[in-house]
Chains A and B, each alone.
Chain A
Amino acid sequence: MESERDDGRSPSQLRPLSCARNVLHRAHGSASWSQGDTKVLAAVYGPKAGTKKNENPEKACIEVIWKPKTGQIGKQEKEFEMILKRTLQSICILTLNPNTTTSIIVQVVNDDGALLVCAINAACAALIDAGIPLKHLAVAICCCLAEGGYVILDPTKLEEQKMRGFAYLVFPNSVVSVLPKGSSHVEGEPMEHGIITSVTHGVMSVEEYLKCLERGRAASTKLSDLLRRSLQSQLPA
């Protein structure tokens, strides 16, 4: 039996999403993304000349700065920076502008659950706004495992803390709306079904994790349709 969630949503219902681009005027690209009460602002500056000391100069370099809402920068922020940097590195075309650095600054405006997910979506929208060439978009979703073993999507902070475990999953966004026949398949699965990033908390069985992956994929296709529609409508005619 599926029990009611606190805010009356069904298990696979996402919170109201809103995405606004070009919100900051000095930044080369910016976006604000909110899912329910969680709101994140992302700004992109770049490409700028030069790379950091230990980075490969034959490729473009991505730098992420995460600013929490309150408090000092600690280990949590460093971990988010690393995850965001690696996720965005896999979607940007790094060979186009070698020996340059693109900086992405993420500012947390409010945290009500699924913060990393919101930040990844905001950073992608900001990269689009800046015109940085991307291979495909990254669509992030948070799947939470409830007591009965069923999966609920897009939890609030209270739900995250109460639940047995949750997983942040990032999938690639498909380039075309309808997959043509003979599109790139890897072992019988289309490319869009691979995960770019996965971060889990709490204990779950392996089957429950695979169930989360399935639900996450289904939700990410809906989310990527929404993204494509909302981002396309803001392009100049």
Chain B
Amino acid sequence: MGLPDASGDLSSEMEVDAFRRLFPLRYFERHLSESIRPDARPLGRARDTTLALGAVASAHGSALAKIGSTTMLAAIKMEVMTPSTESPDEGSIAIDFHMPPICSPIVRPGRPAEAAPVISKQLSDTISSSGMINLKELSLVSGKAAWMAYLDIYCLDADGALFDAALLSAVAAFSHLQIPIVSLNDDGKIELVSEEDDGAKLEVEPVNKEKRKLTLSSIPYSLTCILHKNYILADPTAEEESIMETAVTVVLDSSSRLVSFYKPGGPVLAHTSAVQDCVALTRQRVKELQNILDETLSGMEID
């Protein structure tokens, strides 16, 4: 159980930083009893979120998302490939999530982080479940050619709520995506039309001159919450996640349908009231994220 009185006495003699390292749970609980967190946020508020589109100039679509200190860079590269025989008029998307050693002191080179394949799989499941992307839009010539979109997300700084930032950067990258113009050459193969030829006479008609952007329906937005005793903390930092282990990730789409309710175990049980509270917090967050995404997109249009 520890020595509650001893730590109480020590806290008056010890510096705040030392108390934070030695008795992390007590430090947080002192804050929670005043309904505030160490970074002065109220329990239900997420950190400041920013989005920047077009961060990677050589990619066909890219975005940099920051939630507090957690930073994610997403980039999309498109390639033409032959569609499978079961779905001849659908393209496909391959999502990969990387955690290079720069993001956290726990990740070492050569040994991939445990969280990386899990978040990668969660992202692919969420994006395909939500139906945000209609794969038929990625088709070029039915049965012969379709687009394969490689989405790579790099975590540059891992400070909690990795899935939220990764999903936001993926959605922003797809909104920013410009599908390259292609044309059918004499051999019947699809080739890319380079931008400089526009002035000269084009020998072949481009196959997809009009359709350059994807239509995104029902965009998913997520919020991770931590359950600790009776408290629900929205958008945890890495320190909070390591001390209080029960995390719940709720993904809602723009029409408030539940895309995913993800609670992978953890010592605290989630009762119906906790489920409803988490969903309510996520609904608020969806509105905030929608505003941020719309502002960033309209900012790009003006440019």
Q: A200-B261, A201-B125, A203-B129 are known contacts. Are A210 and B106 too (CB-CB below 8 A)?
A: no
**Interface assignment of A88: CB less than 8 Å from any CB of chain B:** yes
Report the stretch among A79-87, A153-161, A223-231 that lies at the interface: A79-87
The docked-state distance in angstroms from the alpha carbon of A83 to that of B120 is 14
B258 touches A206 (CB 8 A): yes
Q: Give the residue name and chain of the A residue nearest to B279 (CB).
A: A206
The docked-state distance in angstroms from the alpha carbon of A199 to that of B258 is 12
Give chain B's interface secondary structure class: mixed
The docked-state distance in angstroms from the alpha carbon of A206 to that of B15 is 46
B272 touches A213 (CB 8 A): yes
The docked-state distance in angstroms from the alpha carbon of A189 to that of B125 is 32
Q: A75-B117, A82-B118, A195-B263 are known contacts. Are A203 and B130 too (CB-CB below 8 A)?
A: yes
B121 touches A203 (CB 8 A): no
**Chain A contact patch, size range:** 35 or more
What B residues does A165 contact at CB under 8 A? 129
B270 touches A194 (CB 8 A): yes
A82 touches B264 (CB 8 A): yes
A78 touches B269 (CB 8 A): no
What A residues does B80 contact at CB under 8 A? none
Question: A97-121: which have CB < 8 Å to B?
Answer: none
Give the contacting residue for B114; candidates A82, A167, A170; CB below 8 A.
Answer: A82
Q: Give the residue name and chain of the A residue nearest to B112 (CB).
A: A78
What 1/0 flags go to B265-282 for Cβ under 8 Å of A? 111011111111001000
Question: B93-130: which have CB < 8 Å to A?
Answer: 106, 114, 117-118, 120-122, 125, 129-130
**Chain B contact patch, size range:** 35 or more
**Interface assignment of A22: CB less than 8 Å from any CB of chain B:** no
**Interface assignment of B90: CB less than 8 Å from any CB of chain A:** no
Q: A194-B270, A195-B270, A213-B275 are known contacts. Are A79 and B118 too (CB-CB below 8 A)?
A: yes
B263 touches A197 (CB 8 A): yes
| A32 smallest CB distance to B (angstroms) | 23
Question: A56-89: which have CB < 8 Å to B?
Answer: 74-76, 78-79, 82-83, 85-89
**Interface assignment of A202: CB less than 8 Å from any CB of chain B:** yes
What B residues does A201 contact at CB under 8 A? 125, 129, 260
A83 touches B264 (CB 8 A): yes
What 1/0 flags go to A184-212 for Cβ under 8 Å of B? 00110101011111111111111011100
B262 touches A193 (CB 8 A): no
| B248 smallest CB distance to A (angstroms) | 8
**Interface assignment of B213: CB less than 8 Å from any CB of chain A:** no
**Interface assignment of A172: CB less than 8 Å from any CB of chain B:** yes
The docked-state distance in angstroms from the alpha carbon of A82 to that of B265 is 9
Q: Give the residue name and chain of the B residue nearest to A197 (CB).
A: B265
What B residues does A200 contact at CB under 8 A? 258, 260-262
**Interface assignment of B257: CB less than 8 Å from any CB of chain A:** yes
A79 touches B131 (CB 8 A): no
Give the contacting residue for B264; candidates A74, A187, A191, A197; CB below 8 A.
Answer: A197
Q: A203-B253, A205-B258 are known contacts. Are A186 and B121 too (CB-CB below 8 A)?
A: no
- 22 CB-based A-B contacts, threshold 8 Å: A74-B117, A75-B118, A78-B121, A83-B264, A85-B265, A86-B264, A87-B264, A87-B265, A193-B271, A193-B272, A194-B269, A194-B270, A195-B269, A195-B270, A198-B263, A199-B264, A200-B258, A200-B260, A201-B129, A202-B129, A206-B258, A206-B279
Which residues of A are interface residues toward B (Cβ below 8 A)?
Answer: 54, 74-76, 78-79, 82-83, 85-90, 165, 167, 170, 172, 186-187, 189, 191, 193-206, 208-210, 213
Closest 5 pairs between A and B when the two form their complex, measured CB to CB: A194-B269, A86-B265, A87-B265, A75-B117, A78-B117
Which residues of B are interface residues toward A (Cβ below 8 A)?
Answer: 106, 114, 117-118, 120-122, 125, 129-131, 218, 245, 253, 256-267, 269-276, 279
